[in-house]
Structure 1
């Protein structure tokens, strides 16, 4: 199985928003942070907004933020949103022209396998990918203040776990 570039960009965009929770994120900032084309990113941001993952704001000071806390965004939901309209194999397609159509038993097994893949990602939340991940924050944090505040939070969380 291979994920599309759009799914990859969607997850990275959500990570940027999660690492910068108190900031309106701009598409241009995300494009630089994740090494993506702004034009391609525009399509992804649009779909993230339409799907309720981010809240978008128009205008001169516009941009986007997470629509809900990172701890409530399932990676499985994100992947399904971006991958479900693309058939995994021809027999999943509405215009299936496979000569084995109707007699092949493989499609039922592939359906279960694809669903198992998504189901394994359902309990994984965006917050788990970014929380106290210093390396990720160093790359995706858009300002020094955010980096410092999150570092203090993680230090506090780490000492709370020790006790």
Structure 2
């Protein structure tokens, strides 16, 4: 099983929010620290907001933050929100045209495997990934009251106002 880039970016974005609970984070700063395209990240942020994982605030001093505690955001829930519409294989799609579909027994086994995959993630929460994780915190901590607009060349860390 391979997860989509959107799911990967969603989890990374939520981790940035969990590390920076004392502030609104901005799309460009998240894109910088997680090495992502701002355009792709915008779609992910929109979906995270629609699903109720984050709240957004528009405007010059806008950004987004977790909508609820990291300890109540299940990783399985996040993955389902981003992966549920994408069938693992043709068997799971509405437009299944496989000539074996009426007699193949593999579909039920794959369904059980996918359910087990999500089930294993249901016991994992965002806080399990971020709490007491100093290395992750150092990587994802956003600095300063006026967050930077750009990254240092060759680095995913934002440029501070003094360094710019």
TM-score when scaled to structure 2?
0.87
The Cα of 1:61 is off from its aligned counterpart by: 0.9
Secondary structure in 1 aligned to 2:123?
coil
1:3-152 alignment, distance < 5 Å: 3-143=3-143
TM-score when scaled to structure 1?
0.87
The Cα of 1:144 is off from its aligned counterpart by: 6.8
Deviation sequence 1:94-140 (CA, Å, 0-9, x none): 11111101111110111111011000000100001000101101110
RMSD across aligned C-alpha pairs, in angstroms?
Answer: 1.1
Q: How far apart are the structure 1 equivalents of 2:65 and 2:92?
A: 34
Secondary structure in 1 aligned to 2:135?
helix
Q: How far apart are the structure 2 equivalents of 1:140 and 1:102?
A: 49
Q: How far apart are the structure 1 equivalents of 2:95 and 2:42?
A: 29
Secondary structure in 1 aligned to 2:60?
coil
Q: How far apart are the structure 1 equivalents of 2:10 and 2:25?
A: 14
Q: Which runs of 5+ in 2 are unaligned?
A: 146-164
The Cα of 1:6 is off from its aligned counterpart by: 0.3
Q: How far apart are the structure 2 equivalents of 1:69 and 1:144?
A: 23
Q: How many residues align?
A: 145
Q: How far apart are the structure 1 equivalents of 2:90 and 2:52?
A: 29
The Cα of 1:92 is off from its aligned counterpart by: 0.4
The Cα of 1:68 is off from its aligned counterpart by: 0.2
> Which has the larger share of helix?
1
Q: Which contiguous aligned blocks of 4+ residues in structure 1 show a shift greater than 6 angstroms?
A: none
Q: Which runs of 5+ in 1 are unaligned?
A: 146-163
Q: How far apart are the structure 1 equivalents of 2:112 and 2:74?
A: 20
